[in-house]
Structure 1
Amino acid sequence: MAVLGFTLGTFILVLLISSVANYPSGEVGRSCHGMVPEHGHTARPDPVHNISVSQVTFRPGDQIEVTLSGQPFRGFLLEARAAEDLSGPPIGSFTLIDSQVSQLLTCEDVQGYAVSHTSSSKKTKIKVYWNAPSNAPNHVKFLVTVVEKYKIYWVKIPGPVISQPNALPFTTPEATVAPLSTLPPVSHLTKSFSASDCGNKKFCVRSPVNCDPEKEHACFFLSFTRDDQSVVVEMSGPSKGYLSFAFSHDRWMVCIPYLCK
């Protein structure tokens, strides 16, 4: 039984090693749809790699050179998709220029839908050809996922949009912006704040000391009153511009000239 346990454990370990070893080889066809590496980390937000093309217009049957370049990287996954539907399936197929550094992948059961690396060696530039299909959409956009290290990668870096000659200019779909919530109407004071609850229900700051905003127009008045989980602030005083207050962790406040007078 001990021998069987050792054999089973060894077999599982071999499977794990084989699974991990497949990633450096570029066999990442299972990631074609989402283009997300199965690394269990968060993708970086700011791309440092670039996709360029040999021409920005195409006809079905054309072959366009696509170049991926940037700081040294180890892995990549390159695809072309309809610019109007980047979540859709890959468009067209690729032809290799250097099979030593790149290979064709089968996505959606179609060979050549995507291109990836062949090893984890560092590279700074990859060139391939993209073949425009007979049923190509009017606009095609290139996307690439680039892996610099296991924990450092970028997903779906956008490349240029190429278009068919007679297509209308491509415009990026505008993001839907949720309407702003209706703000409450601005209210105006109908009477002065009261100092009657200062030291009792609310904390007050007054200048001159102990002045009453109800009786003295020249009284600068600031109060804080706790209301459940919130704080109600009252502030008034003579001013031709505006009044303001600020919070500080200590007893000192640094002011910008002309704004703190």
Structure 2
Amino acid sequence: MYSTKVLFTVVAVIAGIRAYPTGAPTDVCETMAPGHGAVPQNGQFPYDIVIEKPDLKGGESTTVTIIGKDGHQFRGYMMQARSENKPIGKFTVPDNNSHTLDCGTGTANTVTQSNAKDKNKVTVTWTAPQNFKGKVVFYVTVVKVFDVYWVAHPSSPVKIS
């Protein structure tokens, strides 16, 4: 019994070391994979990506919400708006439950959680680049629990004119 408790404690400590409770690090900017050592889920994505305005002009903003379907919660997330597989635009966050990252040569072009508390909804604001025209897709990685996550799930395209 003692050895089982010790083994469980060691596994929990190792899992905690490899987790990112305060958000994704910048070394996962390209893959958006959390690096938790598990195989990403490829079945039904139990979250919606809700984009307030699917048509924007350069320099305009929209809110983007990740919300759990049927009460599904999540602990972590990472979001990017991409064009030609590169993050573009700028995120702003409404509170200290999320924060931005600078991926590649951009500034605040990625957003992630600031804590590992259960949540069923996160809303952030994204601003399109001033002189950009084209389509953007929001990609979202969602971590339900340490070893259950979906990587780079795409939204519907947003048209920037």
The TM tier, using the shorter chain, reads 0.7 to 0.9
Structure with larger Rg: 1
Q: Residue 48 of structure 1 corresponds to which residue in structure 2? A: 46
Q: Deviations over 1:101-123 (max 9, x none)?
A: 11111211433110000111000
Q: Residue 104 of structure 1 corresponds to which residue in structure 2? A: 100
SS at match of 2:101: strand
Q: Structure with the greater relative contact order (CA < 8 A, sep ≥ 6): 1 or 2?
A: 2
Distance 2:144 2:157 in 1: 25
Query: Paired residue for 2:135, among 121, 133, 139?
Result: 139
Q: Residue 78 of structure 1 corresponds to which residue in structure 2? A: 79
Distance 2:46 2:132 in 1: 29
Q: How do 1:120-199 and structure 2 match up within 5 A? A: 120-165=116-161
Q: Deviations over 1:200-234 (max 9, x none)?
A: xxxxxxxxxxxxxxxxxxxxxxxxxxxxxxxxxxx
SS at match of 1:119: coil
Which range is displaced more, 56-65 or 108-117?
A: 108-117
Q: Is the 8 A contact 2:52 2:62 kept in 1?
A: yes
Q: Is the 8 A contact 1:52 1:160 kept in 2?
A: no
- Moved beyond 6 Å, runs of 4+: none
Question: Is 2:91 aligned against 1:90?
Answer: no
Q: Residue 117 of structure 1 corresponds to which residue in structure 2? A: 113
SS at match of 1:126: strand
Q: Deviations over 1:225-254 (max 9, x none)?
A: xxxxxxxxxxxxxxxxxxxxxxxxxxxxxx
Once the two structures are TM-superposed, the CA of residue 141 in structure 1 deviates from its matched residue by 0.7
Distance 1:94 1:106 in 2: 10
User: 1:144/1:126 Cα in 2 relative to 1: closer, same or farther (>3 Å)?
Assistant: same
Which is richer in helix? 2
Q: Residue 26 of structure 2 corresponds to which residue in structure 1? A: 29
TM-score for the superposition, normalised by structure 1 = 0.52
Distance 1:128 1:36 in 2: 20
SS at match of 2:87: coil
Once the two structures are TM-superposed, the CA of residue 61 in structure 1 deviates from its matched residue by 0.8
TM-score for the superposition, normalised by structure 2 = 0.83
Q: Is the 8 A contact 1:143 1:157 kept in 2?
A: yes
Distance 1:21 1:102 in 2: 20
Gaps of 5+ in 2: 1-12
Gaps of 5+ in 1: 1-15, 166-261
Q: Is the 8 A contact 2:21 2:76 kept in 1?
A: yes
Q: Is the 8 A contact 2:88 2:106 kept in 1?
A: no
SS at match of 1:160: coil
Q: Is the 8 A contact 2:80 2:140 kept in 1?
A: yes
Number of aligned positions between the proteins = 144
Q: Is the 8 A contact 1:98 1:127 kept in 2?
A: no
Which is richer in strand? 2
